[in-house]
């Protein structure tokens, strides 16, 4: 004989797990208040200026490659080391800008101050550029 209200419910330990009812947006632990327009503008401007400066520095590095190729003789310079130095000069702005620029964008998305992160790319790029020039000079190019 069947039960008049249907079959009895299964015991609690055999019932399927039900997720709790939706209670709004999920928690966002990295969000930090409203977006500050000044920080966004400053970060974007710094990144754009650094991209232009990086492009100019890369052009100077390419000119250095041409100079090393023309003026580097077999007895007065180490050609491989000079080309390594010019490669560092060409790549230095991008080795500084890409990781720090990416970090700045992540900080902007998380609504944290980011202008100073983008600005850190400048001294890092200058340091790498200078090291590349020193390598070229030491190689004799």
CA 84, CA 88: separation in Å to the nearest integer?
Answer: 6
pLDDT band for position 2 (cuts 50, 70, 90): low
- List, in order, residues 6 or more apart from 120 with CB less than 8 Å away: 100
Query: Whole-structure pTM over 0.85, yes or no?
Result: no
For 64-89, what is each residue's pLDDT tens digit?
A: 777 777 777 777 777 788 788 888 88
DSSP letters along 20-56, please?
Answer: PPP-SSPP-TT--SS--HHHHHHHHHHHHHHHHHHHH
Top pLDDT among 1 and 70 is at: 70
90: helix, coil or strand? Answer: helix
Top pLDDT among 70 and 37 is at: 37
N-to-C CA span, the chain: 100
């Amino acid at each position: 004989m069947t039960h008049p209200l249907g079959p009895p419910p299964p015991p609690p330990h055999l019932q399927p797990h039900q997720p709790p009812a939706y209670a709004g947006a999920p928690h966002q632990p990295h969000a930090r208040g409203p977006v500050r327009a000044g920080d966004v503008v400053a970060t974007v401007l710094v990144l754009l200026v650094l991209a232009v400066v990086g492009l100019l520095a890369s052009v100077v590095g390419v000119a250095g490659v041409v100079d090393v190729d023309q003026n580097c003789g077999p007895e007065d310079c180490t050609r491989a080391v000079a080309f390594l130095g010019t490669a560092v000069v060409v790549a230095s702005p991008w080795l500084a800008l890409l990781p720090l620029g990416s970090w700045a964008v992540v900080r902007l998305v998380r609504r944290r101050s980011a202008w100073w992160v983008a600005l850190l790319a400048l001294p890092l790029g200058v340091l790498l550029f200078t090291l590349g020039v020193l390598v070229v000079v030491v190689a004799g190019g």
